[in-house]
Amino acid sequence: MNQSVKMSLLCTLILFGLTWAQANSKPAQEVTASGMGSIINGDVAHARDDAIEDALRKGLEQVMGMMVSAETLVENFQLIEDNIFSKTQGYVQHYDVVQEGKRDESLYEVTVHAVVKMSDLKSDLEAIQTLIRRKNTPRMMVLIDETNIGETPGMHLVTTDLNTAENALMDQFMSKGFRFVDQQTVKANMDKAVAAAILRGDVAKAAALGKSNGAEVVVTGKAVAKATETEAFGTKIRSQQATVTARAIRTDTGDIIATGSAQGAFPHIDDMTGGAKAIQKACAQLSEDLMQKILDRWQSDVNAGATMTLKVQGISGYSQLKKFEASLKYYVRGLTTVTRREYSGQYATFEVEMKGNADDLAERLDGQNIDGIQVSVTAMSQNSVTVQLK
């Protein structure tokens, strides 16, 4: 590598670093952007929602640009690998619609004034609320298998099964504006065998239970607290140690969108009390990790496009399936990838990625004539759409 190339590379890296530092130094920036939404079957309200999302994505890109990251490996002055990729950073804290109306009979246009920030999303309550609204206000449910092991004052070993972890996790999430289904109603109607399977880690049953109770995300896991005793300088010190593990499951697809674990300790003369406090401390740490991962996933969905499940019924044969699959991208605006996951008889399942949500996908598929194949939507949830072919 000659000297001029080295200097050019160095100047580029310095310029990129200065630009990045300058962008990070601004905690909030205002932007005005316009977006479009297609009016399908006369549904102006849905087109307006699409236009707002389009405008917010464009506003975010205006402020942040496309952040380019290069991973470069140089050996013996030879460039071996240079992987360059781009991704949009930042998030919308809040926005206002400043102008809107029909562009023509098929397009609706919206102009928004938005505030974009780069700081940690989980510390910004207003931004979290904006993101939750853009995700159509998902509801959550928590099921934690909790065990608190210790000794009574009479030195008899006891084990208690409480809901300290569930309450601690819910409190942390609700303080940020997350919504939950009624836990007591869920448990009152829950079959013991199903509950046991879920607590053993059955993702499918956890997803099914959450879906049947109106939850879009189920957090399930284990919490264990045990008492330990150490001796220092002739004095016995009793402490309670807790470990909590959990994972968040999207109920309509069964996808695991976040996992985490945390430990907590609390010294106390009473094992049960100390164990509960240790579990609470572990849950405080775990909730921060889970929350950030869930918010990151949702942020990616609204900015870069969501991954959804498309279930297809009424398939006459493999040739029709191939025709339908090949034509989807041309008939559904915003669809970027289509991956077939299953095909059997008259039924097939696809994983699709698109800028928008399941409602957008359903709206753009229902009533379509795709190369002579009539499509009608028969079911929909937050992350999946079911269609019937005729």
Q: What is the pLDDT of residue 90?
A: 65
CA distance 277 to 264: 8
Q: What is the pLDDT of residue 229?
A: 74
CB 92 within 8 A of CB 115: yes
Q: What is the pLDDT of residue 75?
A: 42
CA distance 15 to 6: 14
* Residue 78 identity (one-letter amino acid): Q
Q: What is the pLDDT of residue 288?
A: 92
Q: What is the pLDDT of residue 155?
A: 45
CB 333 within 8 A of CB 363: no
Q: What is the pLDDT of residue 99?
A: 92
Is the model's pTM score more than 0.95? Answer: no
- Helices 192-199 and 203-212 cross at an angle (nearest 10°) of 130
CA distance 167 to 148: 15
Q: Average pLDDT per run of 10 along the chain, which is 390 residues long?
A: 52 46 59 87 83 85 53 41 40 87 90 80 76 87 85 50 85 92 79 79 86 90 85 72 94 90 88 88 94 89 81 93 88 83 93 83 87 90 89
> CB neighbours of 309 closer than 8 A, spacing ≥ 6?
252, 253, 349, 350, 351, 352, 383, 384, 385
Q: What is the pLDDT of residue 4?
A: 56
CA distance 247 to 94: 29
User: For residue 381, what is the enclosing H or E element?
Assistant: strand 373-381
> CB neighbours of 82 closer than 8 A, spacing ≥ 6?
70, 71, 72
Closest CA to 221 of 286, 139, 265: 286
**CA 366 centroid distance within chain:** 26
